[in-house]
Copies of this chain bind each other. A is one copy, B any other.
Amino acid sequence: MGECFVDRFEIAGAAEGPLAGLSFAAKDLFDVAGRVTGAGNPDWAATHAPAQAHAEAIVRLLANGATLVGKTVTDEISLGLLGENAFDGTPLNPRAPERVPGGSSSGSASAVAQGLCDAALGTDTGGSVRVPASFCGLFGMRPTHGRVPTAGMLPQAPSSDTAGWFARDGGTFAKVGEVLIGEAPGALPSRLTVGTDCFGFAGPGVAEALAPALARLEALVGEGREDLLAPPGLAAWAQAQRALQLAEAWATFGPWVEAEVPRFSYLVARTLMAGSATTEAQQGPARLVRDDARGRLAHLTKGGGVVALPATPDPAPLKNLPLAQMDRARERINANCAVGGLTGHPVLVLPAGDVEGAPVGLAVIGARGADASLLALAQAWEHA
């Protein structure tokens, strides 16, 4: 237990290139030719053939000189935010060993945080890069939806799925990001909104712990104007995202579940069942909430604008909590993170502060397509 890799091997990157000399790992949701994409569930692994080709994100990193050193633990079929896999164990959170690493890209964050590789690929549908980045004190990003190719990446909820990445330092983070998004770091954002609802929603000590980082961000971007991120409430956005995401997840996994009747953690089975029970009557209003949220984010991020919020509303929970406490932690994270999947806007997580000795990141939401500007922010963060 505590292992972050499910499969260690080495596929050397191109001899030359901007990432030469860097090592990376990939969440076991990305195809590596000749290996089964296990997706964190033994019955998924047992019922799928080895991948025929590398995932496109892996191809890009290899072609630019980075070396792939293994595949990492993930929450089962990417359904989870805490990083506890009942089959594969809980990867170590080296910054807070008694706490979860966050998920579902748990092993990728753990491997980077432990220094076992320079960068790692994750996926983020409802928070699966942002949460482990926040909990492990890493740079992490969910790019604009559709910006980094997801070919060869196991889908969950395609309208929200993204391929993201982690690094320990802003320079490495930006270099890897430049290859993945295919664009050099751009101009820094020029207008900052501080999400008062998000900071108010955060747990004890989080706003205080993030205050110095927020001041650094203001120094880089310009003084933050305060406003609501989600006027109808974070809970309303979360409810809409949950209905849409879980219905899509059931569309993705339901046929396999119904054919193979696989094993899952009770928590994962319950999530799938919630998806199977989502009705069109719930999804219609959820789509309206999504349209509204997209309008709100377009407004907040126009003209070089970004929005700052805690990357997670709390630091990582302790490991092995009872179900009710896991549910509470997950629901709070969902409320904070729903904006990503719902709007498709890019979200950068910056290492920012500690609460009770455990990391919490600062999230920065950019305009759709303004990923290069968030890379510039990550680069500058080192020197701010």
- Chain A residues with CB under 8 Å of chain B are 43, 86-87, 257-259, 261-267, 269-270, 272-273, 322-324, 326
Contacts and interface: CB of A to CB of B under 8 A. Distances in A.
A267 B261 contact: yes
B261 A263 contact: no
A273 to B, nearest CB: 6
Nearest to A324: B258
A25 to B, nearest CB: 25
B87 A263 contact: yes
A264 B263 contact: yes
B257 A261 contact: no
20 contacts: A86-B261, A86-B262, A87-B263, A257-B266, A257-B323, A259-B322, A259-B323, A261-B265, A261-B267, A261-B322, A262-B266, A263-B264, A263-B265, A263-B266, A264-B264, A264-B266, A264-B269, A266-B272, A269-B273, A273-B273
Nearest to A43: B86
Contact of A86 (B259, B263, B322, B324): B263
Contacts of A323: 257-259, 261
Contacts of A264: 263-264, 266, 269
Contacts of A262: 86, 265-266
Contacts of A273: 269-270, 273
A228 B340 CA distance: 60
A266 B270 contact: no
A335 B370 CA distance: 60
Contacts of A272: 266
Given A266-B272, A269-B269, A261 B87 contact: no
A43 B263 CA distance: 12
Contacts of A326: 261
A207 B86 CA distance: 46
A51 B258 CA distance: 37
Contacts of A265: 261-263
A266 B77 CA distance: 14
A324 B263 CA distance: 16
A252 to B, nearest CB: 15
Nearest to A259: B322
B322 A258 contact: yes
Contacts of A258: 322-324
Contacts of A263: 86-87, 263-266
A73 to B, nearest CB: 16
A371 to B, nearest CB: 36
